[in-house]
Each structure stands twice: as C-alpha cells, then as structure tokens.
Chain A
Amino acid sequence: MSSLTSLTAARLAALIRTGEVSSEEVTRAHLDQIAAVDDRVHAFLHVDTDRALEVARRVDAKRRAGAPLGPLAGVPVAVKDLFAYVGAPTTCGSRMLENWCPPYNAAVTERVLAADMVILGKTNLDEFAMGSSTETSAFGPTHNPWDLARVPGGSGGGSAAALAALEAPVALGSDTGGSIRQPAAVTGTVGIKPTYGGVSRYGAVAMASSLDQPGPCARTVLDAALLHQVIGGYDPRDATSIDAPVPDVVAAAQSPDVAGMKIGVVKEFGGEGFEPGVERRFHEAVAALAGAGAEIVEVSCPYFPLALGAYYLIMPSEVSSNMARFDAMRYGRRVGDDGTRSVEDVMRASRGAGFGAEVKRRIILGTYALSSGYYDAYYGSAQKVRTLIIQDFRAAFSTVDVLMSPSTPTTAIRIGEPLTDLMAGYKADLCTIPSNLAGIPAGSFPAGLSDNGLPVGVQVMAPVLADDRVYRVGSALEALLEPRFAPLTKEAR
C-alpha cells in the first residue's frame, strides 16, 4: 500500500487507532519508500529498520489489547541526527561523532517514544546544524525532492526532504537561525520554531544555546501541531524550559479563521535581494488572508536588517564555547594519540581532523568576537542589537496579532552553486533570524511555486507563548492556497 505514505499523520493515526491498518503496515510502507527513493534524496544518515518494525508491532499489540494510545500512536517519525537516540548513531553530520552512539535519549526522543510513535531513522543535516543547505554534512548533501540538483535548505534539509519525498509523515527539527523554517520553505513543507523554551533542548547537541529550539516538521499544519503537542512542555532537565502549559496548537491548527485578526507585513523584508516569484507568492498569500477577513497593515521593524549581522556574532560566540566539549577525551574522534604527544596536541589534531570547514570557520569567528579587546565591539554590540530587535517585535505586537514575511529571500539554490561570498550564503536566513534572537514562535507555510517551479514559503511570527496564533494563520493559509506536491511525491501517489 504505497498510498499510505501520502496520507497525513492525523489520518494515519486515526486508521491505526480503529485497526483499519496496522502500524506495521504504515511503517513498512515508509521504509519501502525510503528504500525506493533515498539513494536519490539522501535524507537519511541511518535507517533504523528492525527497531522501527519492532516498535510498530508493539504498538499494534497494545491496540489489540485495548491499552490507551496517544494521539499519534503508531505513526512513523524521522529524527534530525542531532537528537540523541540510544541504540543508533547520533553523528550531527560530523566526522567528529561518526559512529558515536549516545548513552541517553533526548527529551524529544523520549516523548515521541512515550507517545508510541515509531522512529524511522536519523536525518541528514549541515555539520552540527551549521549551514543553510545541508551541504556541510560530512556525509554528503541531501537532494531537494522538487529538483534533485538543488539543496533542500538547511540545516534540517534531511527532515524536510524526507517529508517532501514521502519517506516520513512528520519529522523532528531544530531551529537556531531558521534551520526548521528555511528547509520547510524550499521543500514546500510546514516547519515551526516554537517559543524558545517551549520544547526541551535536553539531549539535543547544542549549537548556540540561547537560540537553539527543537520543533516539528510536517506536510500539513495539523500534523505539525499534533507533533508539537507530543514534544512540547516543561522539562526540568533544560534550565531554559518554560514552566507553562503548551499553547493549544492543535485547536488552532483546526481553526482556519482569521476574520478580524490584525496581520502586520514586515516592510524591511522585500525588494532588493528577494526573488520576484517569492515576493509575488507572498503578496498573494497576504491578499488571500485579507480576503478571508484579516486586517493587513504594513509594519516597520527598523532594526531587522541588523539581525543577520548580530546573529553572525552571537551564534559563532556561543558555537565556539559549545564546541569546546569536543576535546577527544571522553567521547568522539581522537587522532594522533601515539603515546608521545601531549593532550593539547591530540586535541588540536582531533579537532582539526574531526571538524569540517564551516564548523572551524564559526569557532574561529566566535573565538575572535569573544577575545580580549574585541568583546565589547563585537559580542557586546551584537547583544545590544538583540535588545533593539526585541524592542522592534514588542512595538509591532502592540499593534498587530502576528507579523508576516517571506520565509526566505529565494527558492532553493543548486547543489555546489558558487556563492559570491560567504555572507551571500548566510542571507538564506535573513528573514528567519530575528525570531531566534527574540525567542518568539514562528512558522513557515507553503505558498505555491515561484516562476522557476520551486516552492515558496511564507513566515508567520507571533509573540512569546502565542504559538497558537502561528498555527491559526498557517491553517488559514492551508485552506486558502492550493496544495502543491513535489515530483517525487506525485510519483508515489
């Protein structure tokens, strides 16, 4: 039943609950799809075939025994390879952690397992989530199911591509500067970055701790909400976890009503550097919401253009500190330990061999931004701009319910496309970064295709802990705009 792979997670859960299909059949269908297409897509770094089928059979037995089942019981999920999952490698797309198997589960892993979901495997990512194209993975790039010569965005390109290629109905991602939303945009899928602290970071390999936020990836808004509800909520093991109920995102995802809602369009995100086809789809999406009764106003956020610069100081600073843990002593790659070299020499050699260019670049940049004499000019200044970005959001949300912008300035670039300079590549996250700096929830939703036939995403941003508003607008967009499916999706239909 290959058509099982084109169903939503919500529908699959309903079919499994009533016994119309078994979780084993559903899991097998997705494993078959992975076997059929993943040599072309390369969304997965590890497929956990045997255990997935075993878990699926266990869920089926539980159902037959009449035991209570969670809302997504028996539904397969793909997991970004920076979340710890005991019994499988967690590589972070890096030679540093090649073949490393964690001794404990991440909070999100625990929660999907406790909800009786079936983990299919671990998905590809830019090395330690540092990148916007999944090309910095030490294990090769992931290919965009819309055009296999193009990138699926990043860092969570594996999770997004797995959804677009029908290899998984839902997936886990993490978003530091756009790593859930930007891949969602360029693969025509849904990706939500929850409020910072809304989903536990415990067991997620850290990149920039004040920005990192795990979240759901899906093909529909409701599926994202259902997964959000499974993984969200307080966890005392993450000191930044918010001790408050998860906003009712599932109800919001089923309420496509924006009548009377006030939607602000960010004035600063458009024009130069934005692909005309992206801007057209964005304005059509906004017009559709206006047609559905939303009030649209243009809002200026004057400091947003500085967010990218502030991010490229704050993020590398936190990276340089977080990556210090990879010292080749207790776990991870160790090279050059020939019995004569000192611990520092072995550390240098191991880090030189274990990290790829982008990781090294960011560690060096962060070390510089934090070094004595430059701290105030770089890291200190960036922290002040972070304050200004938060003030921009505060002012905007005093007059509107949500803010909108394109999710990305362009559609997916070609794999290996030479960039004019380093900053040109970093601009892929131009629109997504401000919400990470401010900790607010934001999501990317499909808005049709650009002139080149590639998917465009629109972004919805809401105040802290108003994640439900993101879902409400997303659900309206889903109801108003025509769905589009990737060529690989059509093949399977």
Chain B
Amino acid sequence: MADSIITGIPVATGIAIGKAFFVNRSHAANLPRQTVAARLVGDEIDRLHDAFKTVVQELAAIREQMPEELKSHGSLIDTHLMMLKDPKLSGAAEEYIKSLGLNAAWALEKAVADQEQAFGAISDPYIRERMQDVRVVADKVQTKLMGVEVDMTAISGRAIIMAHDLTPADTVELQADKIMAFATVRGGKTSHTGIMARSLAIPALVGVEKLEEKVKDGDLVVLDGLTGRIVVNPSEDELEEYNERAALFETYSRKIKRQCHLPAETFDGSRVEVLANIELVEEVAAVLDNGGEGVGLYRTEYAYLNRKELPTEDELADKYIDLASIMSPRKVVYRTLDLGSDKYIASFGELNEANPAMGLRAIRFCLKNPQLFKVQLRAILRASAYGNVSLMFPMISGVKEVRQAKAWLAQAKAELRREGVDYDPDMPVGTMIELPAAVMIAEYLAHEVDFFSIGTNDLIQYSLGVDRTNSHVSYLYQPLHPATLRSIKLVVDAAHQAGIEVSLCGEVASDPYCVPILLGMGIDSISMTPQAIPGIKRIIRQTNMHDCRKLLRDVLECRTVSRINNLVMDNIFKHFPEEVTFFSSLLENDELPT
C-alpha cells in the first residue's frame, strides 16, 4: 500500500511517475520564531536586508534572461521587484527586529500580516488579490533567511515539481526537459500552472491541499492527471500498475490525437458537430489542435472581471472580431454576459442576495442594465461581419425574456445600420436551456429562436435542486437522473419539431459514458473543453447510431439512476474496453453517503 493518496484538481492530463521535488513552500506555518539578543539585533537587521537584496538580484537576473514567449509575464516580476524594494515591507520588518527583538523571518511575517490587514480592507478584488504577490515575495525572502533554499538547476531526471504556488518567475527557472509534472497547493482551473503544463504537454494538479503535509522531497510519487490523484510512495504492485497505465495512456492519447481531425461520424453515417467551450481568444489554438469544428460556447465574462470599469464597445469588438476571423469559416457561438451569482462586476458590486443562483444573474442582469447589454450586443454584431457568428442568451425562463432580449438586439442592429457599420443581418440567435421552466416550454421557445443550447450543468442543478459544490448533497448530482434525461429528450424533440438545431454544452457532453445517449437522442452538436475533443470524437466514430437509439430506449424505461448508470457503463465496457480505464466520469459520483 502507498503511504498516502491525496487529490487535487487536474488542469493538464497525463500520468507521470517520478521523484517529488519541492521548489517553494509556504513558510508561514513552520517559521522559526525566536528572539534575538540585544547585541545581535544589528546583525539580524543586516541579514534581513542581505536576504532582500539577494532576492532582488536573482529576480532581476531572471527578468533579464526571460525568453521572448514569456515576456508578457515581465510586468508581474516588475511588481514583485518593486515590492521587494518597498520600505513598507523591509522597513517594517526591520522595525520589528529593533523594537521586539524578533528574528528576521518572524519579523517579516509580522510585516506581511500588517499588509494583509491593509489589503483586506480594499473593496477592489483585483487590488485585494495583489496580497498574494506580497506573500510570494515574502516567501522568497524567508527561504533565504532560513537557508532552506532549493537549487533549481540541481533538478535531476524525472522530477515532479511540487510547490505552494508556481509563479511565472519560478517556471522560467525550471528546466523543462527534466520535469514530468506539476502539483501545487494553490490555484484554480485557470491558473498559470495549468497553462504552463499544457504548453509543456505534462500533467498537472492544482489545489492539492495536503501536498506540503503528505509529500516529502525525494518521495516517489505517481501523479495521475486524469483522476486528480497523487500516490505517495506506491508499493511495487501499485507502481507496476501505474507504469503500465502510463504507457497505455501514452499510446492511447497519441492515437486519438492523430485521428482528431477526422469528422465525428458514426459507423452508420450520422454526423455530429463537435465544438469547443472557450473563455479566452487565445484558446483557439487548442481548439484547432484538438480537432474542434468550431466554438459552441464562448464565455464572454472574462473581459468584465477583475477590473473597475466596464469594457468599451471597441475593446470588446476587437476581441470578438479576432475570434470570429481566426475561426472563420467555422462557427463561433457567443453567449451574452452570464454574470451575477458567483461572479459579479466590480462597478456594480456584490448584490448581497440570499440565494444568488436564483437571483439577478445572466440575462436578468443584462435586461436590468440595458446600456451594458447593448454595448455587448453591438460588439458581437460587429464581429458577425467577420466570420460565422451566432449569439445566444443564458438563463432564459420564458418567452417574454427572449422577446425583450431580441428587442434590444434589433435596436442595436438599427443603430449600426444608421451608422453604416457592417454586421450579418442573418446572424443566428439562440437561447440556452438551463432552467426546468425553459424545458417545459421548449416548444414555445423554439418558435422564437434559431437554435437551442442545453446547458446541462445548470439544468441538472436546478432540476434536481442540488448544489454540486455542497458536499452534503453532491451525491445527488446525477447527470443521468431519469428527470434529466427526459428533460434533454423533451428539448431535443421540441427543437426538431420546430425545425431548429439543438446543441449541448455542459460537462455531460465530454463524459464518454453519456455521449452515446446524447447521440441516440439525435443531438446536432456537442460542445466541450478543447482537450476532451479527441477522445469524444473517437467514441463517436466507433459507435452505431442504431445501438445508441436502442440504448436510449432501454435507458428511458429505467426508474432509477443506478439502473441507468449500469446500462450505460455496460455499453461502454462492451464497446470500448481499451479506453475505459482513462475515463473519468461524472457518473462515478453515484454513491450514497454512509
């Protein structure tokens, strides 16, 4: 048995086996806390300033040697340098050594705590987050003071880099050819670590909370970027098993990647469009690399977050036009602003709603703030002149909402026409189906729009009444609940009855177990994270529409989720025994709490 198995959020897929190598740790928890004799206070102050000076010199040298492709991160290093030179940090630490006789590392920790308090009071989330930068530079100085420094150039072969957090400066110093994987305590799905790992094509996990506690330098670890697991000091058997798994995965991913540009067509000749969900224009490279046939969901929130002022129409149009023209003639579906709930715009502030998931968000927020809405509609319309652009509204609950949203769109068109600005007058307009109410009236909504896009993540949560991030009830988040399946089927049928297309853009679309059922329903396109496309395309290319329809019929007769899951899994085990070990599925959630 392994010493321990810990988990994190996978941000880059693959399996790596190697020696743990810590490049930076947060020192706050295990800082030496001593007092210094009065006669040594002067020396301790010198030690503090020397440590600051060394870190400044090292960082300045890194800044100097930064390769061209990472230059955009230069300004972050400049910020770190200014913080290191800031008397408010080093000077405050010096004061603590002088007045309280603390050792340098502890004194610096107190200076950091003072800053934490100052930053904590700021309402601008962007500025508040800069506290993380203060933490990063303080950690670097404390590393020097404690003499626990790691020589990154000493990394030998097959290293799995572990860190509290990885900064762009850290990644510049690392030698890419010797690194097998990354794991960090901090960070979310969109962190720098994930971007780095994907560009190096190595697996990575972030948010591994117990990393510093459970893993020691030099431990043999298996990092599974498919399941999000880190196995610490595995047994002989486990090691052999993972070695085999890694080799198989390697072969498998090479094979599916080679075939990813082939169309997603079943044995018996049915075509499904396989599209990508993206958030940044930069992701188009990944879309095209992975065989994406277009963008089925462009989330437009990013441009509105972490800033004080709203983006201007020109700023948005620049981005939107870039995306439309790079992807042209492939389709790009722009979803209008889906803010509120968990994400909100700084200039509007938090809404303080008791229940934000049912609050003023998405289309509701836009209809309440038509000026903001129209700026975005105009920018999307302008992009429509440059490519194959569609637009869709999120969180629609009724016919009136769609009509209101379309009225603003018509007004934006009229304005542009008067101003002589080009746009595509026939740009398709769709609505997302995320609310049970929208499902029930899909028949009516279908007459208002050109296409549907089913957002299953929200639809499942709203119809089952389950917040999947709430660990008390997350076991009830069941993508293949009979209610979910009937909802999807109802929407697909209503769309086809009215002669419009229907797409699906939730995580279900990239779940290999669920895809055959979606095919059976006759869905026209599915949209998913770019990295999932090759695997899903392969599944589609190896199935028969006839079998999918049969599976769907069987599944629709089941009364319980476990029966459905069993049927679906049997189907996959039967047809894809080879791949099955590499799938991570939403269905594995199916266990009752004890």
Q: Do A and B interact with each other, yes or no?
A: no
B interface residues (Cβ-Cβ under 8 A, vs A): none
